[in-house]
C-alpha cells in the first residue's frame, strides 16, 4: 500500500456556491473527484464563470475523464454547473457519478419524499405569485423572502400564477441531475454505511465512507439544532419557528393538520375552506377588519420557505475520504444540517470493509480537512462534534462563502459566515481557515499573521485569481 497525497481546489464561483476538485495521487496513479459544481444565480455572469471553471477542470485533467463526480443535493448552488457547462463536462467525460439514495428513481421512500418536496415548492410558488400582485410593501418583502429560497431551485413558475398541477420539478437542479446521469458511465446511489474504494487507485489506498443522508425519516427532517448543538442560539430560535410555519401552510392549502397545530387561526375546527375568496371577502375579513392577519401570515409564509431550503440541505450526501496509510480524513458534508449529523452515530458499517475498532470517532478525530457546510451557516456544523471530536492538530477548514453575494450584503441578509461558528473554526484550526471569495482573512494569512501556524503543515495554500481557485494539499 502506497502513500497518497491529495490536492484540493476550491473554485471561486463568484457568488454563493460549491465546487471542489480533488486530485488523489498514488505513485503513478491518479484519481480526480469533483464534488458539486454550481452557483446560486443563473445570470449571464454566473453562467460564464461556471463555464470558465469547467474548461479549466477539463484542461487540468489533460484529456483524462473525471473518475468521480459527487452530487451532494439538488440545490442550484451545487448543481447548476451541470446545466450551464453540460457540454464541457460531456467532452471531459465522467466515469462514475455518486448520488444520494434520495436521488434514486427506484427507491420508494425517496419518491415519496421528492413528491412532498415538490408539493411544498408549489405552495410557496403560489404564495409568491399572489404576493407580487399586491401593491403592498409588506407583501413585497414577504415575496422577496420566499423567492430568495426558491432561488436555490430556480423553479420556472416562481413568478407566474399557478394553474392546477402546472408546476414542474425544480428546473435547474433537476436538469443538472439528469445531465449527470446521461454523461456518467456508471451511476451509483449511496446510503449511510457504504464503504467504497476510490476508483483509479489501488484497492484500500483511499477509503470513502458514506455518512448521510439518514434513512430514518425523523432525523432526515430534523433541521434545527438545540441551543447545545449550535454556536448561534438566536439564529436557532428563529429557525425553530419554521416547524409551525410548515403546518400553517399545509392547513392553508386545505389539508388536515396534527393536534399540535390546533390553535393556529386557520385550524380545521372552523370547518371552512379559508382559501376560498368568497369566504375571505364576505364572511371574515370585511366584516371585522380587526381580524385581518395578512402581514403576520405572509411573514410566516416567507419564513416557511426556510423549511424547504433547510430540508433539502439536510438531505446532503456526506462523505469522508480516508488516506488509509496515514489515516488522515477529508470530511465533505455538503450542506448537511442537524439530523444528518446526529444520524452518523447509528450507522451500521459493513464489518468486512472497515478495520477492527472502526467508529465515527475515528473518522472525526482524524479529520484534517473539513469542508464547512452550507457556507458556514449557524446550523450546518454540529457544535458537539466540532468541540469534542474534530480535534486533529493539522485541521484546515475550507469555507465556500462569498461575502459579496447579494443575499448576504442586503439589509437583513443571510448571516454567512455565522460569527460564532467562524470564530470557533479559527480557534480549532489555529487560524488555518480558507475562504472561497478571498482566500483568507488577515489573521489567517500564511504570509503574515498565521505564518507559523501554516508552516507546521507541508503545504502552504495558494490563491490563483486567474483561474479562480484556492488550492491546498493534504500529504499522506
**Per-residue pLDDT reduced to its tens digit, 272-326:** 444 444 444 444 444 444 334 444 545 555 555 555 655 666 789 999 999 999 9
pLDDT for residue 314:
73
Report field, pTM of the whole predicted structure over 0.95:
no
Mean pLDDT, the chain, as a whole number? 81
Across the range 241-263, mean pLDDT stands at 38
Residue 396 bridge partners (DSSP): 369
pLDDT for residue 9:
98
CA distance 327 to 354: 12
The CA distances from residue 428 to 151, 255, 383, 447, in Å, are: 33, 47, 12, 20
CA distance 402 to 207: 31
pLDDT for residue 425:
98
pLDDT digit string, tens, across residues 74-124: 888 999 999 999 999 999 999 999 999 999 999 988 887 777 666 666 677
Checking if the pLDDT of 454 tops 50, the result is yes
pLDDT for residue 238:
35
Band of pLDDT at residue 14, cut at 50, 70 and 90: very high
CA distance 6 to 22: 6
Across the range 181-207, mean pLDDT stands at 97
Checking if the pLDDT of 256 tops 60, the result is no
The CA distances from residue 214 to 119, 190, 285, in Å, are: 22, 11, 44
Q: ω before 213 within 30° of 0 (cis)?
A: yes
Checking if the pLDDT of 141 tops 70, the result is no
C-alpha cell of 307? 423549511
pLDDT for residue 269:
39
List CB contacts of 432: < 8 A, sequence separation 6 or more.
395, 396, 397, 444, 450, 453, 454, 457
Checking if the pLDDT of 263 tops 50, the result is no
Q: For residues 2 and 263, which has the higher predicted lDDT (pLDDT)?
A: 2
Checking if the pLDDT of 159 tops 80, the result is no
- What are the E-state strand segments in 260-317? none
Q: For residues 13 and 265, which has the higher predicted lDDT (pLDDT)?
A: 13
pLDDT for residue 244:
41
Q: Put residue 21 in one of left, alpha, beta given phi > 0 → left and psi -120 to 50 → alpha.
A: beta
Q: What percent of the chain has pLDDT over 70?
A: 68
SS3 (DSSP) at 100:
strand
Checking if the pLDDT of 134 tops 90, the result is no
C-alpha cell of 78? 451545487
The mean-pLDDT minimum among 28-32, 96-100, 141-145, 262-266 falls in: 262-266
Closest CA to 310 of 399, 410, 242: 242
Q: For residues 278 and 209, which has the higher predicted lDDT (pLDDT)?
A: 209
pLDDT for residue 475:
96
Q: Are 123 and 308 in contact (CB under 8 A)?
A: no
Across the range 329-341, mean pLDDT stands at 92
Q: Is 54 exposed, middle or buried (0-12, 13-18, 19+ CB in 10 A)?
A: buried
pLDDT digit string, tens, across residues 371-401: 999 999 988 899 999 999 999 999 999 999 9
Checking if the pLDDT of 158 tops 50, the result is no
Q: For residues 234 and 361, which has the higher predicted lDDT (pLDDT)?
A: 361
Closest CA to 464 of 7, 66, 94: 7
Band of pLDDT at residue 334, cut at 50, 70 and 90: very high
Q: For residues 467 and 411, which has the higher predicted lDDT (pLDDT)?
A: 467
Amino acid at each position: 500500500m502506497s502513500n497518497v497525497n491529495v490536492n484540493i481546489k476550491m473554485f471561486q464561483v463568484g457568488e454563493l456556491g460549491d465546487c471542489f476538485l480533488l486530485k488523489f495521487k498514488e505513485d503513478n496513479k491518479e484519481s480526480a473527484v469533483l464534488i458539486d459544481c454550481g452557483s446560486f444565480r443563473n445570470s449571464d455572469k454566473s453562467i460564464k464563470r461556471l463555464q470558465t471553471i469547467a474548461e479549466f477542470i477539463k484542461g487540468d485533467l489533460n484529456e483524462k475523464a473525471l473518475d468521480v463526480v459527487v452530487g451532494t443535493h439538488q440545490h442550484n448552488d451545487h448543481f447548476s454547473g451541470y446545466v450551464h457547462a453540460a457540454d464541457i463536462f460531456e467532452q471531459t467525460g465522467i466515469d462514475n457519478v455518486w448520488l444520494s439514495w434520495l436521488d434514486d428513481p427506484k427507491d420508494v421512500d425517496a419518491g415519496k419524499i421528492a413528491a412532498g418536496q415538490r408539493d411544498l415548492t408549489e405552495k410557496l410558488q403560489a404564495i409568491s405569485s399572489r404576493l407580487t400582485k399586491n401593491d403592498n410593501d409588506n407583501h413585497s418583502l414577504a415575496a422577496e423572502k420566499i423567492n430568495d429560497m426558491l432561488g436555490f431551485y430556480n423553479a420556472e413558475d416562481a413568478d407566474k400564477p399557478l394553474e392546477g398541477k402546472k408546476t414542474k420539478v425544480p428546473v435547474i437542479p433537476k436538469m443538472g441531475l439528469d445531465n449527470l446521469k446521461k454523461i456518467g458511465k456508471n451511476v451509483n446511489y449511496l446510503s449511510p454505511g457504504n464503504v467504497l474504494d476510490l476508483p483509479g487507485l489501488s484497492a484500500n489506498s483511499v477509503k470513502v465512507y458514506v455518512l448521510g443522508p439518514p434513512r430514518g425519516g425523523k432525523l432526515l427532517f430534523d433541521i434545527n439544532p438545540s441551543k447545545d448543538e449550535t454556536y448561534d442560539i438566536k439564529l436557532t430560535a428563529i429557525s425553530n419557528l419554521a416547524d409551525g410555519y410548515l403546518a400553517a401552510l399545509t392547513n392553508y392549502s386545505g389539508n388536515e393538520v396534527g393536534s399540535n397545530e390546533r390553535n393556529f387561526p386557520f385550524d380545521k375546527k372552523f370547518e371552512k375552506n379559508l382559501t376560498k375568496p368568497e369566504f375571505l371577502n364576505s364572511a371574515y375579513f370585511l366584516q371585522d377588519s380587526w381580524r385581518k392577519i395578512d402581514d403576520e401570515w405572509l411573514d410566516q409564509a416567507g419564513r416557511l420557505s426556510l423549511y424547504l431550503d433547510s430540508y433539502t440541505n439536510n438531505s446532503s450526501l456526506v462523505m469522508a475520504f480516508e488516506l488509509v496509510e496515514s489515516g488522515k480524513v477529508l470530511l465533505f458534508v455538503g450542506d448537511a444540517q442537524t439530523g444528518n449529523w446526529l444520524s452518523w452515530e447509528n450507522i451500521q458499517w459493513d464489518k468486512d470493509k472497515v478495520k477492527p475498532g472502526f467508529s465515527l470517532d475515528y473518522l472525526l478525530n482524524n479529520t484534517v480537512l473539513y469542508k464547512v457546510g452550507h457556507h458556514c451557516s449557524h446550523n450546518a456544523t454540529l457544535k458537539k462534534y466540532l468541540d469534542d471530536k474534530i480535534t486533529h492538530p493539522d485541521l484546515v477548514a475550507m469555507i465556500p462563502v462569498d461575502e459579496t453575494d447579494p443575499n448576504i450584503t442586503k439589509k437583513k441578509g443571510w448571516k454567512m459566515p455565522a460569527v460564532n461558528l467562524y470564530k470557533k473554526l479559527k480557534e480549532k484550526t489555529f487560524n488555518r481557515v480558507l475562504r472561497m471569495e478571498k482566500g483568507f482573512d488577515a489573521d489567517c494569512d500564511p504570509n503574515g499573521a498565521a505564518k507559523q501556524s501554516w508552516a507546521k503543515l507541508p503545504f502552504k495554500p495558494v490563491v490563483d485569481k486567474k483561474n479562480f481557485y484556492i488550492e491546498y494539499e493534504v500529504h499522506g
